[in-house]
Every structure is written in C-alpha cells, then in structure tokens.
Amino acid sequence: MDLLKINNLALSYGGREVFHDLNLEVAPGDIVGILGQNGAGKTTLLKAVLGEVKPAAGTVSLSQGARVSYLPQHGRFPRSAQIRGRDVVYLGLEGAKLGFWNQPGASKRIQKAIEAVGAESYADAPINLLSGGELQRLRIAAAIVSEPEILLADEPLASLDIKHQGEIVEIFERLSQQGTAILLVTHELNPVEKLLDKVVYIALGRAAVGTVNEVMSSEVLTRLYGETVEVVKIGGNFFVLGGESGNQFAEEALHGHHHAGHFESAERPHNPKEAGH
C-alpha cells in the first residue's frame, strides 16, 4: 500500500508556476531523491506534502493516519544556544512546543531516537561543542522521535564532509529498512545514488520521475532544460555537462566531486538494494 500518492500535481509560488504534471507514488521504505537547481521547487514540493502549500492543480494524498516528519535544512537554534543534544531531540516530540516534557514515554522515545542515530556518547553535551555531523545526527533523531512513516529531509547532507555524509546516508538506509519512506532533497546525488528507489528531477517548470538511471540521462535532462545536456558516469559518479543550465547543475549538484575541469570519485556506502531491501 502506498503511503503517498501525487497525481498530476502543479504548484505555484508567488504567482509563478513552479512545476506541473508531477506524478509519484511512495511505498513504505522507499527513498526518493528530489533533484534540481536552486529555486526549481524542491522544498516547495516537500511543503505541499506537509500541507503547507496548496496545489494549483492535482492532488497530494497520504494514507490514512500516516505520520509525516520534516527535517528542515536549517536548525531552529544557533550553534551558540545553551541547550543539550537531548533537548534538540525532545523538541521533535508532539506537544514539545507546549512544554509537555512529562508526556507518557517521552524519555524512552527520546533515548530510542538517540540510539537510532548513534548519538548516545554526546547526547548530553551542549550543542556548541558538537561537530556539524554530530548535530545533524541529533536533528535527524528529532525528526524521527515521533516515529513517522514518512520523513521529509531538506538538504540533510549540506555542508558535511564526505565522512559525515556517509554516516548520515547509513542512518537513512537503516530507517528505510525499517519501513520509513524518505523524500530527500539533495544537491549531492553521488553520495546517495545507491539508496534511491526513485528520483524526481525538477527543472524549468517540468518534472521527470523514474529510477536514477532513467532520469539521469542525456535525453531526459535535455528535454527538461530545453537545451543539449550530456550526462556521463565516471568512476561510478554522475556528472552533468552541456549548456548553461547543465554546467550550473554540475557545479551546484555535484560539488565536491567536480573540481576545476577534472573529476574525482567519492567513496559511497554499499548498495542496500542488493542487500535485500
């Protein structure tokens, strides 16, 4: 049974059409990558699933009772805030904003989420002493403490080095294996490519949906951008080359693996889809 169905969706923002005719089905455990340039409408799509943006056309349907959690790109507190990592996770609980610290089972749920992301050793440390990767683990714990069926993650790998990216990817892999569906907005395709069941690529008001290999092709991206775009795979990594749009995407979406005219291959986790997922 699908947790999420999107039919012929069109979204507008500020009077401008963001995209149209998007169709997507998401089942338990699916990981869907949402790609595209800045301003293409990736975050707007997540907000439509949350119900914060109303469709201009089409429908967004969640299975009855499905819990949805949102991991925004930026945290709620500055790094200088005088709070512990455990407090960050607490704020992910329903009712936390109202101060319901002693809600039934809260402490156990918080500890379970902390353990799920491997943050036990620093959960009680002030967040200003944590690394970016450690804090991101705790932010993910806050997003899953309510045990959502669907996790919406907006740029969860941003500003992390390859080591910490790999650790976050492994957390998403485990969540997927436990049945959590994940919609993952990312500029970093290569670190997550092997996790993705589907890709949604949004460009210039159009969207393509399919597997990574189906969507990340020269033919599909040329159609989306309306100009010649070449997609190549070197050392197991995707690179997008071509016209102005393609070059900009290569710089934005694959930064860290494409440097000044030469290519680097990045380490990636094994393929969980080949491990029975």
With a cut of 90, say whether residue 270 has pLDDT above it: no
Report pLDDT for 96. 52
Whole-number pLDDT of residue 75: 73
Cβ atoms of residues 101 and 181 within 8 Å: no
Confidence bin at 250 (pLDDT 50/70/90)? very low
Mean pLDDT of the chain: 85
CA distance 271 to 105: 35
pLDDT band at 265 (very low <50, low <70, confident <90, very high): very low
Average confidence (pLDDT) over 189-195: 93
**CA-CA distance, 244 to 251, in Å (whole number)?**
11
Instruction: Average the pLDDT over 125-146 and give the result.
Output: 94
What was the pLDDT predicted at 47?
96
Using DSSP bridges, classify how beta strands 68-71 and 229-234 pair: parallel, antiparallel or unpaired: unpaired
Domain ranges across the chain: 4-210
Measured distance CA(145)–CA(114) in Å, rounded: 8
Taking only the tens place, the pLDDT of each residue in 200-247 is 999 999 999 999 999 999 999 999 999 999 999 888 888 888 755 444
Give the tens place of pLDDT for each residue, 13-69.
888 899 999 999 999 999 999 999 888 999 999 999 999 999 999 999 999 989 999
| Domain 4-210 fold | Rossmann fold (3.40.50)
